[in-house]
Amino acid sequence: MKLELLGHLILTVAIFGSLFLFVAYAVYFERKVAAKMQNRVGPDRVGWYGLLQPFADILKLLLKEEIIATQATKFVHTLAPAISVIMAFITFAMIPIAEGFYIADINIGMLYMMAVTSIGVYGVTLAGWSSNSKYSLLGSMRASAQMISYELSMGLAVVGVILITQSISVVSIVESQTENILYWNIIRQPLGFLIFWIASFAEANRLPFDLPESEQELVGGFHTEYSSMRFALFFFAEYTHLIVASSILTTVYLGGYQIPFQSFLFPGLDGWWLVSAQILTFILKMCLFVFLFMWVRWTLPRFKYNHLMELGWKYLLPLGLLNVVLTAGWLLIYDGF
Amino acid sequence: MSELKKQPRTTDELLRLLEDEHTFVTLEGEGDALDTEMVINMGPSHPATHGVLRVVLKMNGETITRAIPELGYLHRAMEKLAENKSYHEFMPYTDRLDYMMPYSNNVAWCLAVEKAAGIEVPERAQVIRTLACELARISSHLLWLGSMVMDTGALTLFLHTFREREKIYDIFDLLTGARFTVSHSRIGGLASDLSPEALTALKSFIKQFPAHVQSWEKLLNRNKIFLQRTVGIGYIDGDLAVDMGLTGPNLRGSGVEWDLRKKMPYLKYADLQFDIPTSADGDSFSRYWVRMQEFYESVRIIEQCLDKLAPGPVRVDFAKQVYPWKSEVYHTMEGLIHDFMLTDWGVCPEPGQVYQAIETSKGELGFYIQSDGTGHPWRMKIRSPSFVNLQSLPYLLEGSQMADTVVIIGSLDPVMGEADK
């Protein structure tokens, strides 16, 4: 019993530790991707090809002076970044990165993930409100409105998957896709995938849905009044969201850790080799989504508030409902009532 | 001091206490019984106001109910300074007017002084001026394109336009010896001739440039989000645009075909073939579209100028009014004397007044000079297009959304150095 607990603890630390590392390097990756798209070189001074840049950034932010606006509500002001970053992190607990490798598998895993990401919005909203600045307030107002609109569509998109799987557990969702590549939910639920993907842009506060921070008109929005490590936490939370959103997309729609065509390509794989290969597959799939997020960010303009609402309520929500009805109807016919 | 101790009760009162009375913008007189409106101060230091433009916005949620622009944060008393400078000494100041296209400003100033003094500039100098003005227009429009698209949220295009601007800087470097503030035009001609290296660089630039504009148009013209951000945003109809005094692409974006290059030709424009793109929609997108078409027209003009480029002098050989070449100054007595006289007294136009305007990338840039016969203007007035164009800002902003402000300001393309003078 004790040994099992210890093993679990080590796994937890390992997963969260590597998540930290991934988030740090997501920033580096983003800067390199942006640089490539903009005819620039990107960070290349610190370390080999600038690979130590994330640590230099963190160190710089740690050493900066911490400024709290005099009119800010101090307790909430301090609490907000913590909420953001913690909620972003604990979402990852549900995600299996290889067969049997996950921090927790609860029978309502999908619900848990939706719930926790919703709480994450509080971080942004409270930050804007407690800063007592008009720009921040506008940013946090946008954040809360945006999250409500997109959570709904996201939830509806997931309902389709849940109907197919007949389970809300994340592990079961992944295992239901392991048969072969045709069983991936992206094939079985293309509309649901599209809705979920668009909504996860809004969830992760990424362009074209980064209205809460829109640096052009709101000059950073909810985190305008933050500096030093508190700002770094928001920054961290944003990139954690990016990684987590990509992981969720991988898990729910791209067969999670499943290696495509495994029985053809690597028939004799088992034991630790299999686990490593699965982890690698998972990381590659996740990186694909991370790259897509970045590609979109450095290409598209930003939505306007009213168009964002329009897209959320007039298009994604009805489409989500349609997806649920179609999936349910198909299941009813397929399973023969 | 007693006023500071008083506790502010309303937002307006608080603002009044915080502000210097001379910079205070009053936003009173509207019925807002429930106090749902918020006054938000945008600028003078704000990333999307293109310099130091300050706009005080009264917002109801995300909607702007009133907007008051506040100018003058970059006021450097250019017009007053001109009264104490000789005509030549004022040249570098014009570089700093609209710092996106210094060459056009130089040319506008020179044309005004030449008109006052009755100097006829040689053919080759005029062609080079025309060509460089169009190059400056491209450079200015490039910055506008990058920053306007950046204001809508797409950051990458800004870097792409700057890559092209960099090439233009290099051409200016070869042509004038300076990358940014060129001061190349001289009263009565040019500081130097177009060198073969500059010509090669220019030719290779205009050869590849239209393809880049096409690729940007491909990215933007049918981009759903970009259209949502610009179509119907910041609408102004043609009549009102004329009444407001809009000029340049902002006026042509409202369907009024007015371009000084065609209507009151100066330099070589009368001999050149080019179109005036207009669009009658009057919104941000049509202003965008007009400027994009002007890229192609400018390239066309430059190509024709290159054909017209015949050998010849680039400065008038009349040392009473126009600086002699340095070779003359260093090696002849008369040259040295004339150089001294021109530096000391300068060009002395006949007493009288003169107004000369050119079409820059922002609109009608005019210099009004009142001369009393001495070497510096008795009074000089700059008709700067950015300043007049900004007049329409309150009209355009009212009723639009917070996110539109940056796009509308971007589509008007003001440069504060010129607006504040």
User: Which pLDDT tens digit goes with each residue over A273-324?
Assistant: 888 888 888 899 999 999 999 988 888 888 888 888 888 889 989 999 999 9
Inspect the interface and report whether the beta carbons of B151 and A216 lie closer than 8 Å. Answer: yes
CB-CB: which of A37, A207, A304 is closest to B403?
A304
Inspect the interface and report whether the beta carbons of A39 and B228 lie closer than 8 Å. Answer: no
Residue B46 pLDDT > 70, yes or no?
A: yes
User: Which pLDDT tens digit goes with each residue over A19-55?
Assistant: 888 888 888 988 899 898 888 888 888 888 888 888 8
Residue B126 pLDDT > 60, yes or no?
A: yes
A171 pLDDT band (50/70/90 cuts)?
confident
Average pLDDT over residues B95-115: 89
Q: How far apart are CA B405 and CA B397, in angstroms?
A: 6
Of A77-91, B19-33, B332-346, the poorest mean pLDDT is in: B19-33
Which of helix, strand or coil describes residue B401?
strand
In a domain, A115, yes or no: yes
Residue B138 pLDDT > 90, yes or no?
A: yes
B chain contacts of residue A217, beta-carbon cutoff 8 Å? 48, 151, 402-403, 405-406
Which chain A residues have any C-beta within 8 angstroms of a chain B C-beta? 34, 37-40, 134-135, 138, 142, 207-208, 210-211, 214-219, 298-307
Which chain B residues have any C-beta within 8 angstroms of a chain A C-beta? 38, 40, 46-48, 62, 149-156, 159-160, 163, 219, 223, 225-226, 228-229, 401-406
Residue B22 pLDDT > 70, yes or no?
A: no
Residue from A299, A300, A307, A310 whose CB has the most chain B CBs within 10 Å, to mutate:
A300
* Chain A residue with the nearest C-alpha to that of B158: A38
* Burial class of residue B245 in the structure, from the number of CB atoms within 10 Å of its CB (0-12 exposed, 13-18 middle, 19+ buried): middle
A chain contacts of residue B232, beta-carbon cutoff 8 Å? none
In a domain, A249, yes or no: yes
Q: In percent, how much of chain B has pLDDT > 90?
A: 24
In a domain, A24, yes or no: no
B chain contacts of residue A211, beta-carbon cutoff 8 Å? 403
Average pLDDT over residues B130-152: 90
Residue A253 pLDDT > 60, yes or no?
A: yes
Give the model's pLDDT for residue B1: 44
Question: Within 10 Å of residue B368's Cβ, how many Cβ atoms?
Answer: 17
Nearest Cα of chain B lies from the Cα of A273 at a distance, in angstroms, of: 42
CB-CB: which of B40, B153, B405 is closest to A302?
B153
Of A65-69, B47-51, B73-77, the poorest mean pLDDT is in: B47-51
CB-CB: which of A207, A217, A219 is closest to B403?
A217
CB-CB: which of A40, A215, A300 is closest to B225?
A300
Inspect the interface and report whether the beta carbons of A302 and B46 lie closer than 8 Å. Answer: no
The model's pTM is 0.85
Give the model's pLDDT for residue B33: 58
Of A108-117, B26-35, B122-131, B398-407, the poorest mean pLDDT is in: B26-35
In a domain, A7, yes or no: no
A chain contacts of residue B226, beta-carbon cutoff 8 Å? 301
Give the model's pLDDT for residue B171: 92
Residue B107 pLDDT > 50, yes or no?
A: yes
User: CA separation (Å) from A335 to A166, A326, A327, A328, B67?
Assistant: 13, 14, 12, 10, 62
Nearest Cα of chain A lies from the Cα of B58 at a distance, in angstroms, of: 12
Inspect the interface and report whether the beta carbons of B149 and A302 lie closer than 8 Å. Answer: no
Inspect the interface and report whether the beta carbons of B154 and A306 lie closer than 8 Å. Answer: no
* Total residue count of chain A as it appears in this document: 337
Give the model's pLDDT for residue B35: 65
In a domain, A258, yes or no: yes
B164-178 as b/e, with b when 16 or more CB fall inside 10 Å? bbebbbebbbbbbee
Residue A273 neighbours by CB under 8 Å, 6+ apart? none
In a domain, A300, yes or no: yes
Inspect the interface and report whether the beta carbons of A300 and B38 lie closer than 8 Å. Answer: no
Domain that holds residue A261: 59-334
* The 3-state secondary structure of A114-168, one letter per residue: HHHHHHHHHHHHHHHHHHCCHHHHHHHHHHHHHHHHHHHHHHHHHHHHHHHHCCC
Average pLDDT over residues B156-166: 89
* Chain A residue with the nearest C-alpha to that of B222: A300
Assembly ipTM? 0.82
Size of interface A-B (CB pairs under 8 A): 81
Residue from B41, B228, B397 whose CB has the most chain A CBs within 10 Å, to mutate:
B228
Structure tokens at A246: 């990509």
Distance in angstroms between the alpha carbons of the first and the last residue of chain A: 45
Q: What is the tally of structural domains in chain A?
A: 1
In a domain, A35, yes or no: no
In a domain, A3, yes or no: no
B213 pLDDT band (50/70/90 cuts)?
very high
